[in-house]
Structure 1
Amino acid sequence: MNSLRHRPIGLPALALLLVTVGCSSADDGASAAVPSPDAKAAALCQKLDGVLPATVDDESREDPEPASALTAGWGNPAIILRCGVPRPPKMLDPAVPQGRDADAVAGGVDGVDWLMEKEGDGAYRFTTASRLAYVEVTVPADRDSSGALVDLAPAIKKAIPEGIAD
């Protein structure tokens, strides 16, 4: 008979076990800073939240923490959308180099114009241009950014009208 099987667990060991179990969550959920847009942009972003697709780049929607109508996510590692972000400093900056070797390049996908910036970790951050609210989409390095932008374009066109954000 194993005497350890019937030995009571001491309070310190029990506390350590509970803390370990509580910290080892299977939820590897993403987090995203929630933007603080003005009321006009916030209303557009809430409209966008209502029309976002359930899947992006073949990944199901899994919103980041903290929960907000201004953020959304898909997959793991997550493609993260933040609506109502400030205009990126590199947007409309004449000092930003253009072309293949630049770290900020403008382009369009399915009727939505984007500023593309390469992050230090190999991820790409895209920010809408010529829309009444700025929408930022961060695509991890190992994901197909074009698939994500194609999947998000219809919702952005439907919810965020063309124009110049304040």
Structure 2
Amino acid sequence: MPRGPRLRLPLAALAALVLAGCTGPLAVEAGPEATDPACAELLAALPRTVADAQARQTSGAGTAAWGEPAVLLRCGVTPTGPTSRECVSVEASDGSVVDWVLLASDDSGAILTTYGRRPAVEVEVPATYGPATLSVLPDVGPAVAALPVEAACLSS
């Protein structure tokens, strides 16, 4: 019986295909308000790269990730109320401004949550992205800036 043409792949290409088939979406826990329609709009507006890291597929509703180790974004988290924690206004790449509250920062990285926006958005940045963990915020800023603003950081 005649055979059709055979496809020959280099071993490295074959290994990449096999490994790609074995890895699934990154498991990221969804926020309690992740099904808010504004989260779907936010996800559609997010960039393909953040801090030069490529987007990754995630399994949690209202979530996104980039790179390895992953920068994680969760939409629909519990909003931050008035706080004495550090609140910074970060200019996005399109010139819009988003207020972020620094929830945690240590040797493993930083966790920031939007202030005064609903639904609230949380970004977790591993320390491997350098000492300026805020550097990823301008990349996601234009999408986040589209969320409704209810309050702003107070100047000191």
Look up the match of 2:89: 108
Task: Return the alpha-carbon distance in structure 1 between the equivalents of residues 63 and 34 of structure 2.
Answer: 15
Confirm whether residue 46 of structure 1 aligns to residue 40 of structure 2: yes
1:83 alignment partner, one of 42, 54, 75 = 75
**Residue number among 59, 80, 97 corresponding to 2:53 in the alignment:** 59
Identity among equivalent pairs (%): 30
TM-score normalised by structure 1 residue count:
0.66
Letter in 1 for 2:137: L
1:143 matched to 2:129? yes
Q: Is the 8 A contact 1:56 1:147 kept in 2?
A: no
Any gaps of 5 or more consecutive residues in structure 1?
1-24, 97-103
How many residues get paired? Answer: 124
Alpha-carbon distance in 2 for matches of 1:75, 1:142? 11
Give the RMSD, CA atoms, in angstroms.
2.3
Which sits farther off after the overlay, 139-148 or 55-64? Answer: 139-148
The answer to whether the 8 Å contact 2:55/2:66 transfers is: yes
Out of 17, 31, 37, the residue aligned to residue 33 of structure 2 is 37
Distance 2:30 2:53 in 1: 22
Name the SS for the 1:138 alignment partner: strand
Matched, 1:152 2:140: yes
Q: Whole-Å Cα distance in 2 between the matches of residues 67 and 37 of structure 1?
A: 12
The alignment partner of 2:39 has SS state of: helix
Looking at secondary structure, tell me which structure has more strand per residue.
Answer: 2
Partner of 1:163: 150
In our comparison, the structure showing a higher alpha carbon Rg is 1
Give the gaps of 5 or more residues in structure 2.
1-20, 92-96, 152-156
